[in-house]
């Protein structure tokens, strides 16, 4: 076998300019990659944090059936989070997977909306939060099933069938408690009142979301909003409840500005990997 | 057994191996009955999860790996796909019969409204809880024979 020719200084110059991925690979669109990564974090973190919140009910719910429901919804959400965050790690290309993203980021790096980190409160407050979230996620995933990224579309199309159940269950409880006793009605009113100010953030279009929209990675939120408002109106009418008065919206979760509640949640969620790094079953 | 068999005979052998892999949550069903084996080629088996967060997914993959290895198919890859999403319509007719015999009401066929008690066959049944012992099941009760039972949810 003939030996390779010696490396000339001009070859070295060419090699240094070549992308680390190789000269002949398709060029990686960095802007696209970072937008997709960001949106996957938002999707994954929403599901992860709400899944963890609902998990707090395990063994404490009012009846065994409700306990099962909440644990099952939590499981679905954590399944979604696993898919979204694993894909985020893959897109990022720095060797992080879903577990690393879930357990080795600190509060400021989380991109979930503020609604999902709100405390469980009583059962009415938990169900109010679930309705506001699942009604949004159902419509969002319907749209994301046609995402320009096939992998996102596949996860959304898979998960939306489960989210339809979550929305239905939460709606039934809002109706049952709202149109129930004086006590249950007062609690549901308070629960909705607590959660209502976090709705606008779900439909917020900041710079990243606008980039994602332009790339077919995020839907038309006005369209989502119309269906969402109609759904809430139907449920509230059946629950004989008035929608809370519009409140000053609170934004910032998508950019890492969270309430104090998230830090406590994460401390519990990450306790084991923080205390015993690299522990395995 | 091995690499040099004609393609069709080889995939038939692979299907036979997969037919004996039980679903870990409902062992009366095989993963083929459940409809989660989506494709079998000469050198790969494609699986799809039932529910996004189903904890059995990883167990199933490990069981398939073990079954393939012990049948001499060490070189067959296992792949997972999410699309198209799994639906209970993919449960085979044999699978539906096995569920019923096991005491789980099979998911309703399209257009079918009444849920029949798997014990006594009565249609006088009611839902106790939308979510049951696993993500794929709901808890029901029969008003005729008073037995509670699991319903495999339409999905």
Residue A70: which CATH number? Answer: 1.20.1260.10
Which residues on adjacent β-strands are paired with residue A29? none
CB atoms A83 and B55 under 8 Å: no
Residue A14 counted as domain residue: no
Give the total residue count for chain A: 281
Q: Please state the ipTM of this predicted complex.
A: 0.82
Q: What is the arithmetic mean of pLDDT over A234-252?
A: 95
Hey, are the CB atoms on A68 and B132 less than 8 Å from each other? Answer: yes
Residue A20 has what pLDDT? 56
Which CATH code for domain B7-86? 3.30.300.130
Q: Is residue A25 part of a domain?
A: no
For residue range A176-231, what is the model confidence (pLDDT) as tens digits?
999 999 999 999 999 999 999 999 999 999 999 999 999 999 999 999 999 999 99
Domain count for chain A, please give it: 1
Task: Please tell me if residue B139 touches chain A, with a CB cutoff of 8 Å.
Answer: yes
Domain ranges of chain B: 7-86, 91-152
Of A82, A158, A165, the CB nearest to B130: A165
Amino acid B153: pLDDT: 87
Which among A91, A111, A127 has a CA at the least distance from the CA of A48? Answer: A111
CA dist list (Å): B69 to A96, A235, B58, B78: 30, 53, 17, 11
Nearest-5° Cα angle at B52, B91 to A218:
120
User: With an 8 Å Cβ cutoff, is B53 touching chain A?
Assistant: yes
User: In this complex, do A169 and B131 lie within 8 Å of one another by their Cβ atoms?
Assistant: yes
Q: Which of B52, B82, B128 sits opposite A162 (nearest CB)?
A: B52
Distance from CA of A11 to the nearest CA of B (A): 40
CA atoms of A86 and A92, how far apart (whole Å): 10
Domain interval for residue A134: 33-275
What token pair was written down for A21?
């991925």
pLDDT digits (tens, 9 = 90+) for A76-102: 999 999 999 999 999 999 999 999 999
Query: Inter-chain contact A159–B52, Cβ cutoff 8 Å?
Result: yes
In this predicted structure, what is the pLDDT of residue B130? 84
Mean pLDDT of A235-241: 98
CB B85 within 8 A of CB B54: no
> Do the chains contact at B53 and A78, CB–CB below 8 Å?
yes
pLDDT tens string A40-81: 999 999 999 999 999 999 999 988 889 999 999 999 999 999
CB contact (8 A) between residue B53 and residue A82:
yes
What is the least distance, in Å, from the CA of B90 to any CA of chain A? 15
Q: Do B85 and A157 touch (CB under 8 A)?
A: yes
What's the first-to-final CA gap in chain B, in angstroms?
Answer: 38
pLDDT at A265 over 80: yes
Of B84, B128, B135, the CB nearest to A75: B135
Residue A244 maps to a domain: yes
Q: What does pLDDT average to in each consecutive run of 10 residues of chain B (155 residues)?
A: 63 94 92 95 93 86 96 95 93 94 91 90 92 86 95 88
Q: In what order do the strands lie in the sheet with B37-40?
A: B37-40, B44-47, B77-80
- Residue A15 inside a domain? The answer is no
The reported pLDDT for the residue numbered B5 is 62
* Residue bearing the bigger pLDDT, A18 or A44: A44
Q: What is the pLDDT at residue A23?
A: 54
């Amino acid at each position: 076998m003939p030996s390779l020719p010696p490396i000339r200084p001009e070859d070295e110059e060419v090699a240094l300019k070549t992308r680390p991925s190789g000269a002949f690979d398709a060029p990686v669109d960095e802007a696209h990659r970072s937008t997709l990564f960001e949106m996957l974090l938002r999707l994954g973190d929403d599901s992860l944090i709400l899944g963890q919140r609902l998990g707090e009910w395990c063994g404490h719910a009012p009846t065994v059936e409700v306990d099962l429901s909440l644990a099952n919804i939590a499981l679905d959400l954590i399944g979604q989070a696993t898919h979204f965050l694993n894909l985020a790690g893959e897109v990022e290309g720095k060797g992080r997977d879903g577990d690393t993203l879930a357990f080795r980021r600190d509060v400021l790096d989380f991109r979930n909306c503020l609604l999902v980190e709100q405390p469980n409160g009583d059962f009415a407050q938990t169900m109010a939060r679930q309705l506001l979230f699942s009604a949004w996620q159902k419509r969002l995933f319907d749209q994301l099933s046609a995402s320009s990224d096939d992998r996102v579309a596949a996860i959304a199309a898979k998960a939306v069938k489960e989210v339809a159940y979550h929305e239905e269950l939460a709606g039934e409880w809002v109706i049952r408690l709202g149109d129930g006793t004086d006590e249950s009605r007062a609690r549901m009113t308070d629960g909705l009142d607590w959660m209502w100010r976090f709705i606008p953030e779900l439909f917020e279009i900041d710079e990243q979301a606008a980039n994602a929209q332009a790339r077919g990675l995020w839907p038309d939120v006005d369209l989502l909003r119309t269906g969402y408002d109609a759904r809430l109106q139907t449920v509230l009418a059946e629950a004989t409840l008035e929608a809370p008065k519009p409140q000053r919206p609170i934004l910032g979760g998508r950019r890492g500005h969270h309430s104090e509640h998230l830090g406590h949640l994460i401390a519990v969620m990450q306790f084991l990997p923080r205390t015993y790094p690299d522990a395995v079953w | 057994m091995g690499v040099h068999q004609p393609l069709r005979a080889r995939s038939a052998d692979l299907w036979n191996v997969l037919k004996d892999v039980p679903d870990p949550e409902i062992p009366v069903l095989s993963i083929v009955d459940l409809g989660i084996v989506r494709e079998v080629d000469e050198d790969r088996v494609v699986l799809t999860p039932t529910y996004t967060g189903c904890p059995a997914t990883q167990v199933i993959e490990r069981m398939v790996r073990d079954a393939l290895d012990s049948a001499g198919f060490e070189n067959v890859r296992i792949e997972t796909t999410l699309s198209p999403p799994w639906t209970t319509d993919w449960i085979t007719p044999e699978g539906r019969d096995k569920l019923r015999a096991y005491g789980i009401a099979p998911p309703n066929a399209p257009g079918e409204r009444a849920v029949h008690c798997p014990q006594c066959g009565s249609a006088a049944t009611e839902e106790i809880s939308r979510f049951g012992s696993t993500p794929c099941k709901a808890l029901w009760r029969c008003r005729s024979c008073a037995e509670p039972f699991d319903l495999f949810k339409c999905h």
